[in-house]
Amino acid sequence: MNSAHDLDTWRLFFQVVNLGSVSKAAQSLHQETSAISRKLNKLEKDLGTELFTKDGRKLKLTSAGFVAFSRMRRIVLDVGCLINDLSQGRDNLEQLITIAAPIGISEKLLPICLLEYMKIEPSTRFSCRSMSYVELFSTETFQGYDIILSTSPITTATNTTMLLGGIKHIMTASTEFLRGENVSIRRPEDLNNYPLFSFYSRNRERNTHLKKGSETYHLNLDACCRFNHPGAIKTAVLDNYGIGVYCPYYFYASEIKNGQVQQVLPDWTMPLQQVYLNKKHTQRAYVNDFINWFFQRFINFEGIISPMSNGFWMSDFSANLVHL
C-alpha cells in the first residue's frame, strides 16, 4: 500500500512535526523510534520528495514538508470527522450542503443566509469553510464542495459559473480620526498624506481607479500596512489609526449608520468586486433549491449590487477566468 494514502501515517507525521523529533513522538505514541523512522522514510519514498531536513538533533520541515503539514492536516481531520459522523449515524448526507467561501463573505454575509434558510428548510444542514483566494482556486477545493463562492469565475468540464453580484467598496475612517487636527481630505491626491490600510489579494496590493462622474483617478496606494482580511483593516479604522482603502461596504454598514465611521471622499466611487457562485453541472435537487433562494437573498444585502444594475462597474483585476 502507498503510505501516502494511509491516514495513520499522516497522523504520525503530524505528531513528529508537533514535537520536533522522532524520539519524542515515539515516546508519546508508545512506539519504537526505529518503527516511526521506517514509516516516515517510506512516506518520503512513496511521495518522491523529502519532508524533513536535520538541524542537529531536531528535524526541520522542507518546503514540501511544510505544504504537506499545512494542507494534509486539515484533510485528515475532515476525513476523521466524517468517518466518526458516519459511524454514529449523525449525518444525513442527502440533506448536507458543503460550501467554500472567501474570507469576509464567510464571516459576515454567508452565516445570515444559512441561518435564514434553515428556518425555511429545517432539514437542510450546512458545512462551510472560509478559505483564502489561493485555496479557493485549487482543484482539490472544487472537487470537495457543492458550492464555491469566488471573486473570479472558475471553469472545469463539470461545473457552472454564475455571477451573483458585486460588492460595493469604499474608503473609510473613524469620525474621531477625521476630526483630528490637520486632517483635510478634499481630493484623492490627499490620501497619501495619511496612514493608509489597504486590502491585497493573491500577493498584490489593490491599486485601483476612482470615478466621479466623467472624472477618473488612478489611485497608487502607498499603504503603511496591507492585509488580506477586511476585518483587520476595520480594526485599524475603528482604533483611529488611519484610512481604510478598498473596504467592503457591508463590513461597515452599522458603524456608518451610527456615526462611528464615515466614508472618505464619498463622491468618488471604487470598482465593484464581483462574486461568483460555482457549482457542478449535476447537483442534488435540494442543493439547487438552496442556490435559487441564495441568488435572491444575496443581492438584498446592503452594499451588494445586482448584476442587472446600471451602475455595475467591475474592476479590471478580478474577472480573470480560472481554469482547473
Question: What is the rounded CA–CA span in Å between residue 199 and residue 230?
Answer: 7
pLDDT at res. 316: 47
pLDDT at res. 90: 52
- C-alpha distances (whole Å) from 80 to each of 7, 20, 76, 86, 87 are 9, 24, 6, 10, 11
Q: Which residues pair with 211 in a beta bridge?
A: 216, 269
Question: What is the rounded CA–CA span in Å between residue 44 and residue 40?
Answer: 6
Cell readout for 252 is 461597515
Are 215 and 188 a contacting pair, CB within 8 Å?
no
The CATH architecture of the domain made up of 93-165+274-323 is 3-Layer(aba) Sandwich (3.40)
What single DSSP character describes residue 224? Answer: S
Question: Residue 9: CA atoms inside 13 Å, Cβ hemisphere, count?
Answer: 18
Question: What is the rounded CA–CA span in Å between residue 251 and residue 323?
Answer: 30
pLDDT at res. 280: 78
**Quick one: residue 79, left, alpha or beta (phi over 0 = left, psi -120 to 50 = alpha)?**
alpha
Q: What are the boundaries of each domain within the chain? A: 3-87, 93-165+274-323, 169-263
Are 223 and 171 a contacting pair, CB within 8 Å?
no
pLDDT at res. 141: 63
The CATH architecture of the domain made up of 3-87 is Orthogonal Bundle (1.10)
Report phi then psi at 272, rounded to 5: -75, 150
* Residue where the block lists cell 489593490: 206
User: Is 0.85 surpassed by the pTM of this model?
Assistant: no
Question: What is the rounded CA–CA span in Å between residue 6 and residue 197?
Answer: 45
**DSSP H or E stretch at residue 223:** none
Can you identify the CATH homologous superfamily of domain 169-263? Periplasmic binding protein-like II (3.40.190.10)
Q: What residues of the chain score a pLDDT lower than 50?
A: 203, 316-319, 321-324
Question: What is the rounded CA–CA span in Å between residue 161 and residue 251?
Answer: 25
Fold matches, 3-87 and 93-165+274-323: no
Are 82 and 74 a contacting pair, CB within 8 Å?
no
- C-alpha distances (whole Å) from 315 to each of 169, 188, 272, 278, 312 are 11, 18, 6, 20, 10
